[in-house]
Every structure is written in structure tokens, then in C-alpha cells.
Amino acid sequence: IFATVGVHPHESQETLQEKELFAFLTREASHPKVVGFGETGLDYYYAHSPKEEQVSSFKAHIEAALECNLPLIVHTRD
């Protein structure tokens, strides 16, 4: 069994700030069973998290994926 590490856009408001999230994601990606990041992205259909928080979280995931050279699973809706 393998895993990805990420924060769904609906939960962006309830998670770490961008720099702390980046550190968390890259640290967790060191586990040999972690094969990517996500599901992350932007979801403006429901107002579960403000757009600014979603964008910040998405940026942290993108930077972590680049840093760790792992794929990114993108969620996008409206």
C-alpha cells in the first residue's frame, strides 16, 4: 500500500500556514511509501475555505512536489 500526502482545498482554512505546510509535506514525503502529493488544488464551488487560504495551500503543495520531485494530484472545481 502506498500513500499521498496533502490537504483537500475544503480543509485549507483548518491547516498550517504556507511555510509550515511546506515543511510538513516535505518531511512526510520522506516516508518510502509516499508516492506523491494531493489531493490539493482549488475548489470554489462550496465556500468551505477562503480563496486566499486555498491558493496558499496549493502553492505549498506545488513547491513541495517540485522540491521532492514527486507528482501532484490536482483537485479543481469552479
Q: Note the pLDDT of residue 41.
A: 94
Q: Note the pLDDT of residue 59.
A: 97
Q: Note the pLDDT of residue 21.
A: 96
Residue-wise pLDDT for 47-77, tens only, equals 899 999 999 999 999 999 999 999 999 988 8
Distance of alpha carbon 23 from alpha carbon 77, whole angstroms: 26
Judge contact between 50 and 78, C-beta under 8 A: no
- What is the DSSP-derived secondary structure letter of residue 68? H
Distance of alpha carbon 42 from alpha carbon 23, whole angstroms: 20
Q: Note the pLDDT of residue 2.
A: 97
Distance of alpha carbon 17 from alpha carbon 59, whole angstroms: 11
CA 13 to chain centre: 12
- Using 50, 70 and 90 to split pLDDT, how confident is the model at 78? confident
Residue 16 has pLDDT above 80, yes or no: yes
Residue 55 C-alpha cell reads as: 491558493
